[in-house]
């Protein structure tokens, strides 16, 4: 399919006029184009990599309240940063943000795409976004919203990243690169939506090949999704909802966070064997089953079997620790039991 012919200047003018009248008022968009606070823009772009704007606004406000400047972020202990990031998920973002803030506090904010790209945790999208929005550099962004808008505009069912980047570069308004990037993203987020695009309201409707063909939602074709892997794990709660034994997690998924002592159940391992191994490591005595919780993380669906346990180990305040949502769900089991919100689970092997 071929896009409806249109001059690039006319297309730019139509989208920018729509954006000036209808663009979202977001807290990191304060200040004139190309001269915004790079710290606020940077934090927002990192946060919104895996979080929708509607939910991200709350987390953004909380994080900026805790760390209003890059110096405050650089000076903060990593534990405090992870606590402020709690609930956002993908905690490697917070660890990299903290590392990069240390560099920025020493060297100053980058002013170019290359300078931003050199920071930990900053990839091509974030570097293009911050350098265009805060520094006025002519760099086109490429994210999910941009992909959908351009795939429909040109009628391309299976656009590659290189294809999208080339079209985004060609359409970028050189005099207002930041506004253009925000306009395309806002259009995708509010009008050119995945399942119910509001084509009559779209400033690019007259130029859109997908609309002309009558099937805008067919573009782009769905990506092949990575299969979700089911994971079974066991955890022990030594203490209560206020104070408990917590361990620092390792690895990329939840690395740096605190959590209940936990063990993944091996493919040929029984739940009781995994529990016994976990308790042996801790020198703990297992108690009753508190229940199960489930949580999706990346391409994993985790089912966590949570047991009470006893051990002479130091406990710490739960409220002050940076915990994953999985651990909050596990701790909620005890609170619900104590408040009688549900009955104790039947013994294992019961037919009830």
**What residues are annotated to the active site?**
45
Q: Are 87 and 56 in contact (CB under 8 A)?
A: no
**3-class DSSP assignment, residue 297:** strand
Q: Which residues pair with 234 in a beta bridge?
A: 263, 305
Q: Are 301 and 229 in contact (CB under 8 A)?
A: yes
**3-class DSSP assignment, residue 52:** coil
Number of C-alpha atoms within 13 angstroms, CB side, residue 73? Answer: 28
- Select from 15, 87, 19 the least CA-distant residue to 55: 87
259 vs 278: CA distance, rounded Å? 14
43 vs 85: CA distance, rounded Å? 11
338 vs 333: CA distance, rounded Å? 9
């Amino acid at each position: 399919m071929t896009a409806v012919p249109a001059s690039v200047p006319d297309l730019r003018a139509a989208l920018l006029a729509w954006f000036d009248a209808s663009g979202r008022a977001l807290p990191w968009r304060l200040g004139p184009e190309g001269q915004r606070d790079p710290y606020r823009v940077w934090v927002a772009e990192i946060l919104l990599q895996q979080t929708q704007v509607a939910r991200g606004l709350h987390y953004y406000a909380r994080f900026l309240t805790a760390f209003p400047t890059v110096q405050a972020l650089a000076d903060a202990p990593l534990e405090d940063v992870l606590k402020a990031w709690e609930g956002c998920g993908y905690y490697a973002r917070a660890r990299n943000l903290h590392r990069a803030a240390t560099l920025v506090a020493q060297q100053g904010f980058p002013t170019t795409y290359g300078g931003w790209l050199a920071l930990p945790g900053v990839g091509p999208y974030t570097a293009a976004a911050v350098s265009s929005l805060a520094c006025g550099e002519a760099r086109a962004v490429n994210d999910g919203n941009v992909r959908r808008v351009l795939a429909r505009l040109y009628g391309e069912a299976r656009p590659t990243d290189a294809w999208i980047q080339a079209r985004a570069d060609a359409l970028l308004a050189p005099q207002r690169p930041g506004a253009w990037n925000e306009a395309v993203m806002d259009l995708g987020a509010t009008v050119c939506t995945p399942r119910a695009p509001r084509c009559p309201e779209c400033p690019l409707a007259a130029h859109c090949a997908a609309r002309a063909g009558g099937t805008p939602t067919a573009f782009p074709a769905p990506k092949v999704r990575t299969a979700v892997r089911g994971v079974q794990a066991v955890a022990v709660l030594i203490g209560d909802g206020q104070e408990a034994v917590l361990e620092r997690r390792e690895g990329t998924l939840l690395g740096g966070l605190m959590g209940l002592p936990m063990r993944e159940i091996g493919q040929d391992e029984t739940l009781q064997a995994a529990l016994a191994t976990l308790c042996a490591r801790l020198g703990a005595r297992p108690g009753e089953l508190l229940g199960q919780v489930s949580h999706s993380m990346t391409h994993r669906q985790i089912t966590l079997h949570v047991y009470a346990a006893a051990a002479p180990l130091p406990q710490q305040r739960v409220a002050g620790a940076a915990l994953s949502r999985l651990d909050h769900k596990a701790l909620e089991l005890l609170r619900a039991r104590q408040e009688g919100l549900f009955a104790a689970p039947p013994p294992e092997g019961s037919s009830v």
